Structure 1
C-alpha cells in the first residue's frame, strides 16, 4: 500500500509503476506484446525525465520515492532486454553496464536517505538478506517439484564449478590477479546463499560491486574475466522464476559464446565452456 500511496504525490514514481506494469503485461500477453512495450517505453521515458528534474535539488521528502523509482527503473531495464529481445543475441556486456550504472544510482539514493533520516516508511522490508526466492511457479508443462529439483541441482553444480575456478585462479600468478580474486569472491558471495537473497542482493546485484578494471578486461576479451562473467550468467538462471529475469542469464551466455568457434576457446577453458553451454539450457 505504501508505494501506490506515495506515487499519488510524486508523478515520477507513478510513471515508473505504470512503465513496469506495462512491461509486466508485455511479458504475459504475447499477442499484445508490442502495444504494451510501446506503452512501457513511453512511461519509462516520462519517469526518467521526471526523476532527472528533481535530482539536482532533491528534498528530504523526495529521497524515498526517488529510491523506489530508481529500483523500478532497474527492474524495467533488466526485464526490457529479456522481454523485447529478438531471437538473435546482442551485445552481452552493454545491458550489464547499464544495470550496473542504475544499481549505483539506486545505492547512492538509498544511502543518502538513510543518512539524512528521511521518513523511511519502507525501511522495515528493505533489508531482506534472509528472504527466499519464489521457486514454485510451474507452467503447464513443468511441475513445481521438477522446477525446484532442477534449480537446486543447478545451484549445486554451479557452486562446484566456482570452486574449481578458484583453484585455477590460485594455481598461478597472472597479470590482474587481484582483480580476478576479488571478482571471484563477489561472485561466490552472491551465489552461495541461494535460495536466500543474501546480504548484498544476490546475483542480480552483482554488477554493482564489480570494478571498472574487471569490466575493461571483459570488454577486451580476457578469457578469465569472460569465464567469471559466464558463471554469473548461470547464476541469473537461478532467478528464472522472476518475470523480469526469466531467460536473461541464458541470453547473456549465448550472446557471449555463439559468435565463437570451438578453435577460439583456449584449451584450459574448453571443459568449463562446454559445461556452461550445457547448464545454460537447464529449465528450458
Structure 2
C-alpha cells in the first residue's frame, strides 16, 4: 500500500509586512498606507522599499490614513520608466500650529520650570509622531494658545482646535477602555494636555458654571492616575517621568507650621454635615489632603513645579467629594474656594489665569442667601486679592 504523503501546511507568514509588525513578530495585514495593527495601536506605519525603489511612509496628520504614498494619478510611460509623481501636499495649517507649539506654546505651559521644556518641545512631539492621537492633542492646544496669545477671534483657530481635539478624544477613548504598556506614556501626556486645554479654553469662552467646569477638570486629573498606576514602572523609567516626579516625591519640610485656616474647615464640616457620615468623611478627607498640599507648596523651592504639586489634591479626592461638588454642596464649594488660593500662586500660566476669581465668584453666588457661610470666603478672597495686587505690581 502506497504510503500517503502528508501535505505541507500552507505558509501564512507576512513577507511584505511593515517594519513595526516585523519588530513585534506579528502578522501584518499589509494594508497600505497603514496596516490594521498600526491603525489599532495608533502608531506610525513604515514599509520596506517596494520593487520600484519607493518606500511607503505616512503623510500629514490629516492625510496619512486616507492616502497612499504614490498618488493615484501617477503615470508610467513604460515598464522600465520611473513613475511620475505629483508634488506631495503639505498640511500648511497643521505645520503652522506645530511651529507655534515648538517655539511658543511649550514655553508657556510651565513658566520658570526649565526642566520640562525639552520634554514638551521635542520629546512629546516625537512621541506624537508615533501616536497620532497625541499629535492631535498637541496641535489642539497650540491652536488654543495661539488664539489666547493673539487675542484673536479668528474662527479658523477655534475650528482647528476643536477638530484636533475631537480626533484626539476619539482615539484616546479607545485606548482608555483597553490601556496597554505601548500607549501608557502617550496617554499620560494626552491626559495632561486635556487638563490644560479644558482650563485654558475658559480664556476664550467663559464657562457657564465655573464649579461644574472645574469638577470636570478634576475628573480628568483623576483619570491621569488611572492611566499611570498599572504601568508605573514603565513610565517612571521614561523621560516624561520628570513631569510627575515632584508630585510623588515632595513631602512637607520638617517643622512646617500647620495652616490653621484650612484645618478650621473641619469645624464647618462637623457642624453642617454631622447627620450624613458619608458626606462628612468625604469632606474631612478632602480637607486633610488640601492641608497636606498647602504644606507641600510652602516647602517648594524655585526648582520645584508648583503646578504638579498642587494638582495632587484633585487626583487624591474621594469620588464622593466630587459628587458633592457637582451637587453644589455648600461645604464642598467652600473647601474648593480655599484651593483657589493655590491656583492663584501659579496664575503666571495662561491656562490657569482667572480661575481663582471664577471659583470665588461662583461660590459667592451659591452662598448669596447665607451670609453666615459667606464669612468662610473672607480668608481665601483676601489671599487671592493680595496675590493679584502683587502680580499687578510686578
TM-score bracket for this pair, using the shorter chain length:
0.7 to 0.9
Q: Which SS does the other structure have where 1:93 is aligned?
A: helix
Return closer, same or farther for 1:117/1:6 CA change in 2, 3 Å cut-off.
closer
Residue of structure 1 aligned with 2:291, choices 188, 205, 212: 188
Q: TM-score, normalised by structure 2?
A: 0.56
> What stretches of structure 2 of length at least 5 have no aligned partner?
1-121, 251-256, 390-394
**What corresponds to 2:377 in structure 1?**
273
**What corresponds to 1:136 in structure 2?**
none
Q: How many residues align?
A: 253
Return closer, same or farther for 1:208/1:162 CA change in 2, 3 Å cut-off.
same
| Residues 1:207 and 2:314 aligned together | yes
- The CA deviation at 1:118 is 8.8
Question: Is the contact made by 1:234 and 1:250 (CA closer than 8 Å) also made in structure 2?
Answer: no
Return closer, same or farther for 1:227/1:173 CA change in 2, 3 Å cut-off.
closer
- The CA deviation at 1:94 is 1.8
Higher share in helix: 1
Q: Matched residues in 1 for 2:287 and 2:265: separation?
A: 8
Deviations 1:183-210 (A, max 9, x none): 1101112222226368994333422222
Deviations 1:26-65 (A, max 9, x none): 2211134654333212111111112223444544322211
- The CA deviation at 1:235 is 2.3
Residue of structure 2 aligned with 1:4, choices 104, 120, 125: 125
**What corresponds to 1:217 in structure 2?**
324
**What corresponds to 1:13 in structure 2?**
134
| Bigger Rg, structure 1 or 2 | 2
Q: TM-score, normalised by structure 1?
A: 0.75
- The CA deviation at 1:97 is 2.6
Supply the RMSD in Å over aligned alpha carbons.
3.3
| Residues 1:109 and 2:216 aligned together | no
Question: Is the contact made by 2:215 and 2:326 (CA closer than 8 Å) also made in structure 1?
Answer: no
**What corresponds to 2:171 in structure 1?**
50
**What corresponds to 1:249 in structure 2?**
356
Q: Matched residues in 2 for 1:30 and 1:199: separation?
A: 27
Return closer, same or farther for 1:121/1:255 CA change in 2, 3 Å cut-off.
same
- The CA deviation at 1:90 is 2.4
Q: Matched residues in 2 for 1:231 and 1:169: separation?
A: 14
Q: Matched residues in 1 for 2:241 and 2:377: separation?
A: 42
> What stretches of structure 1 of length at least 5 have no aligned partner?
132-155
Return closer, same or farther for 1:70/1:160 CA change in 2, 3 Å cut-off.
same
**What corresponds to 1:145 in structure 2?**
none
